[in-house]
Structure 1
Amino acid sequence: MPRLADPLTELQIRKAKAAAKAYALSDGNGLSLLVSPAGRKTWSVRYRLLDGTRPAPCVIGHYPGMSLAQARVRAMEIQRDAAQGRATQGLRSVARRAAAEETAEEQAEAFAKQEAQNASLRSVSGRWLSEKRPTWAAETYRKALLVVDSYLVPAIGDMDMRTLETKDVRPVLLKMAAETPQLARKARQYIGSIVDQAINEGLRRDESRLRLDRMLPKFRTGHMPAVTDDEKTLGEIMRAVYDYPNRTVRAALILASLTVMRPGVVASARWPEIDLDAGEWKIPGMNPDGSNRMKTGEDFTTSLPEQALVVLREMRERTDGSEYVFPPQGRQSSPHLSRDALSKALRDLGFQGKHTPHGNRASLRTLGRERLGIDVDVLEAQLAHAPKDEVEAAYARVKFREKRREVMQAWADYLDGLMASGQVVPIKAHVAR
């Protein structure tokens, strides 16, 4: 049988690249190499049956599993068998073997694809968020989810965590630094933790952490605005708070100022947590859904100074039968007052960039130390900062309970004094009106 093409060489076969459409390279004598758009190289042979007909070409194997020399031998065997009338059984076996090879390759490709998806930043970050959620406060989880879903996944979500490098992350962080500096800092922190997640899952080596420390440009960090060195301004803030027209928001702002609990904890306060007779607020460390209520996840008790009890007794009368101390306002969908309502109130009062509800904590930490001489350990215990070890934690709970009661009453009296310097109405009259 005359050749219809020049024979192929191993070099030609190795250099054959994938194209947009499948194409064939002929070796002559009915043997061809088919190259798919995915780059798979398959041997195909044409043959003639005893009756002279030519069935569809037969797949006999894949390169490089079957070499050029082996393909030529196998093609000759099939053509000989077909010409002698023994093609049916042999060709069925060839077809079965080729189908088995095809299935095995498809399965291997599917497995590799699934592995790549499982190792993508999209998947790893999802598992990281799921593991962290039970130990995080709701606001912490919300912020992490925002950064991951809105910034990281759209930009690098399909990247393989097994091979992710610092250079892959840098453009994303620099773009965020130019647009949202605070979120860029969080994103850098989250990426480091997601890489740790990949290491813990065995996707990366222990030493393969990214170099992110000095990647972001320097800028002034944005601590929560707080008055820590201007008693006159703090007095103005407290007077404005007591004059705020919305009674529910006003009461929540006062409680946040007097107890320095985080605004989210204040806004979600429940009546079963508060003992007006004992003057205590026992805050569960965890929410019913398993998420953190306190940042540490530990139960916490704070005393309630006399001024706070006055406010709470008023709210008790106004919310009789309600589970929450501060009911939702307007169109709020939550079962209790939104924490953002407290921040908005201070902005509306003209203190944007000067003080926030969370800033009360910094005010106590600084002014309580400098003006009232409160011991640092007592302040840290009242702020519910996590102690360094279990012994210290137990010591703080036992040693400072009564001391903190004295301190919080002193803090409330101190704030009263700052308000009084501006000739305001006494606190009890203020709340009752």
Structure 2
Amino acid sequence: MPRLATPLSELQIRKAKPAEKAYFLADGNGLRLLVSPAGRKSWVVRYRLPNGSRPAPATIGHYPEMSLAEARINAVEVQRDAKKGKSTAGIRKAQQEVEAAASAELEAAAQQLAEVERVSFRAVSGRWMAEKRPTWAMETYRKARLVVDAYLVPKLGGLDMRQLETKHVRPVLVEMAKSTPQLARKARQYLGSIVDHAINEGLRSDESRLRLDRILPAYRSGHMPAVTDNDAKLGEVMRAIDVYPNRVVRAALILAALTAMRSGVVASARWEEIDLKAGEWRIPGMNPDGTNRMKTGQDFSTSLPEQALMVLREMRERNMGGEYVFPPQGRQNSPHLSRDTLSKALREMGFQGEHTTHGFRASLRTLGRERLGIDVDVLESQLAHAPKDEVEAAYARVKFREKRREVMQQWADYLDKLRTGDILMGVS
């Protein structure tokens, strides 16, 4: 049996002196006197609830305001009421103290979890993408989102960016390189940039960059497939496009071939950008949401040869007041045609590994120079490649505007002849 406490006396209570730490004097039957370091003496009683549990003791009064005899009576009442499930002032106060302590503990735990999440790779990479997005073209953002969300976050998401080391990311990159070597290189690039973002946020020191240069095995990356040295094959591509059953996709591919604009720009073309009378397509450098439309972020315009105007007029006749030239197809969720649909169409035509939508840019760059004798600077201007400086960019836009109109009609006529076979048959 537990040892019973010797009942207190008024003399003991009066003589009780404060100590460095609070201490209890037991009176028995659950009643104790708590003496604080400041000398305050409080009556505390332990009790049981109907379910048999023992919550935190209840403070029922203070000495000498409440005498020993009164404390014993109140203690019995509290214990009796608690056993019956009644809530008295002492019990309520004890419960409030327990709840307050539990709430404070939960809040502290929540703050700790929030801090752990704030410095995690998942959170830092998310903030990095949000900061970069306004400066990226949509396709650049899409690729970064794919690499980060599908490959990096599942493996590194919970790691503390303050403690991230090369040994943590190396296995992830090496594993990616086995199946997707090009994405692995993008992942390495993104990781370096994410670490720099963490440094800028003050989570890492300036000299804490990762050693990523020699992690990946040697790999010879290639350019996107493009027909650049075979007139017959390019003519085959143009004939396949000409008979492709989906009118919207066919028209978009023709526009991409005739203007050599990037596939994402073509797929998202708006009618407000197209001037059919002037034969001009004026492309804003930025999207309405502030992200890059053109890769350089600069406004751009290209002339539209007669063949391009023909397919655009056809799309205008089919259009029912929509914002975009090429509406989405099938179950696409985007407001306009997906750029991936164009590449998929060329694969369906049998040109996988030989030619892509982006490949028309390489075709113009090479064949335009070799077959048509177009000046390199004019070709670079048409491809909207970023000049070395802003002065040169402005000069090129002014200098080559009319020349580009001439050469793009020349390019369209050349593709027409390849499509009909006139060049191969020697017909002028």
| 1:187 CA drift (Å) | 0.9
Partner of 2:204: 204
Check if 1:51 corresponds to 2:8.
yes
1:90 maps to 36
Q: Superposed, which structure 2 residues align to 1:51-130 within 5 Å?
A: 51=8, 74=20, 78=23, 88-90=34-36, 113-130=113-130
**Cα drift, residue 104 of structure 1:** 10
Q: Which residue of 1 aligns with 2:149?
A: 149
Matching residue of 2:350:
350
Q: What does residue 378 of structure 2 align with? A: 378
Larger deviation, residues 160-169 vs 321-330:
321-330
**Partner AA of 1:240 in structure 2:** A
**Bigger Rg, which one:** 2
Structure 2: how far apart are the matches of 1:342 and 1:229?
22
Shift of 1:106: 9.1
TM superposition shift of 1:152: 1.0
Distance 2:255 2:304 in 1: 9
Report the equivalent of 2:268: 268
Q: Report the equivalent of 1:365.
A: 365
Corresponding residue SS for 2:205:
coil
1:415 aligns with 2:372: no
One-letter code aligned to 2:350? G
Structure 2 Cα separation of the partners of residues 341 and 110 of structure 1: 45
Q: Provide the secondary structure at the position in 1 that maps to 2:36.
A: helix
TM-aligned CA deviation for residue 320 of structure 1: 4.9
Aligned partners of 2:337 and 2:33: how far apart in 1? 82
| C-alpha RMSD of matched pairs (Å) | 3.3
Residues 1:321 and 1:105: Cα distance change in structure 2 (over 3 Å): closer
**Match of 2:242, as an amino acid?**
Y
Write the letter of the residue equivalent to 2:378. V
Instruction: List alignment gaps of at least 5 residues for structure 1.
Output: 1-47, 53-72, 425-433
| Higher deviation after alignment, 349-358 or 109-118 | 109-118
CA deviations on 1:70-116 (whole Å, 9 max, x unpaired) are xxx957x847x889xx9534267999xxx999999998876555433
Q: What is the distance in 2 between the residues matched to 1:233 and 1:249?
A: 20
Q: Per-residue deviation at 1:386?
A: 2.1
2:340 aligned partner, one-letter code: D
**2:282/2:301 contact within 8 Å kept:** yes
What's 2:131 paired with?
A: 131
Deviations for 1:174-212, whole angstroms, at most 9, x for unmatched residues?
A: 111112222211111111110111011111122221111
**What is the rounded CA distance, in whole Å, between the counterparts of 1:131 and 1:186 in structure 2?**
18
Give the distance between the partners of 1:269 and 1:376, measured in 2 at CA: 27
AA partner of residue 362 (structure 2): A
CA deviation after TM superposition for structure 1 residue 155, in Å = 0.6
Identity of aligned residues (%): 72
Deviates more, 1:104-113 or 1:277-286: 104-113
Alpha-carbon distance in structure 1 between the residues aligned to 2:105 and 2:250:
68
Displacement of 1:238 after TM fit? 1.0
Q: Contact 1:182/1:222 (CA < 8 Å) preserved in 2?
A: no
Change in Cα spacing, 1:109 to 1:314, as seen in structure 2 (3 Å) is closer
Per-residue displacement from partner, 1:289-322 (whole Å, max 9, x unpaired)?
A: 3222222222110111121112212222222533
Instruction: Supply the AA of the counterpart residue of 2:206.
Output: D
* Aligned 1:13-32 pairs, distance under 5 A: none
Report if aligned partners of 2:284, 2:300 keep a CA contact under 8 Å in 1. Answer: yes
Distance 2:146 2:368 in 1: 35
1:311 matched to 2:268: no
Aligned residues: 356
Output the CA distance in 2 between the equivalents of 1:222 and 1:49.
Answer: 91
Q: Tell me which residue corresponds to 2:402.
A: 402
8 Å contact 1:49–1:87 — kept in the other structure?
Answer: no
Kindly tell me: are residues 49 and 347 of structure 1, through their superposed partners in 2, closer, same or farther at Cα, counting changes over 3 Å? farther
TM-superposed CA distance for 1:122, in Å, is: 0.8
CA distance in 2, matches of 1:49, 1:412: 108
C-alpha displacement of 1:358? 0.9
Deviation digits for residues 115-159 of structure 1, max 9, x if unmatched?
332111111001011111222222221221121111111111111
CA distance in 2, matches of 1:344, 1:112: 48
Question: 1: CA distance between counterparts of 2:300 and 2:219?
Answer: 35
**Cα distance 1:110–1:346, how it changes in 2: closer, same or farther (>3 A)?**
closer
- Which residue is equivalent to 1:140? 140
Does the 8 Å contact 2:417/2:423 carry over to 1?
A: no
Give 1:126's aligned amino acid: G
Q: What is the distance in 2 between the residues matched to 1:370 and 1:287?
A: 35
Partner Cα separation in structure 1 for residue 175 and residue 114 of structure 2: 31
Gaps of 5+ in 2: 10-18, 43-56, 58-97
Equivalent-residue separation in structure 2 for 1:133 and 1:264 (angstroms): 16
**Measured at CA, do residues 224 and 198 of structure 1 come closer, stay the same or move farther in structure 2, by a change above 3 Å?**
same
| 1:178 counterpart letter in structure 2 | K
8 Å Cα contact 2:125/2:148 also seen in 1: yes
CA contact (8 A) 1:119 1:160 kept: yes
CA 1:234–1:89: 2 relative to 1, 3 Å: same
**TM-score relative to the length of structure 2:** 0.74
2:255 corresponding residue in structure 1:
255
Q: CA shift at 1:377, angstroms?
A: 2.3
**Distance of aligned partners of 1:50 and 1:296 in 2 relative to their CA distance in 1, 3 Å threshold:** farther
The AA in structure 2 aligned to 1:343 is S
Do the aligned residues in 1 keep the contact of 2:23 with 2:35 (CA within 8 Å)? Answer: no
Q: Measure the CA separation in 1 of the matches of 2:303 and 2:36.
A: 90
SS in 2 for 1:252: helix
Distance in 2, matches of 1:366 and 1:93, equals: 95
CA distance in 2, matches of 1:310, 1:117: 55
For residues 78 and 321 of structure 1, do their structure 2 counterparts lie closer, same or farther at Cα, with a shift above 3 Å needed? closer
SS class of match (2:282): strand
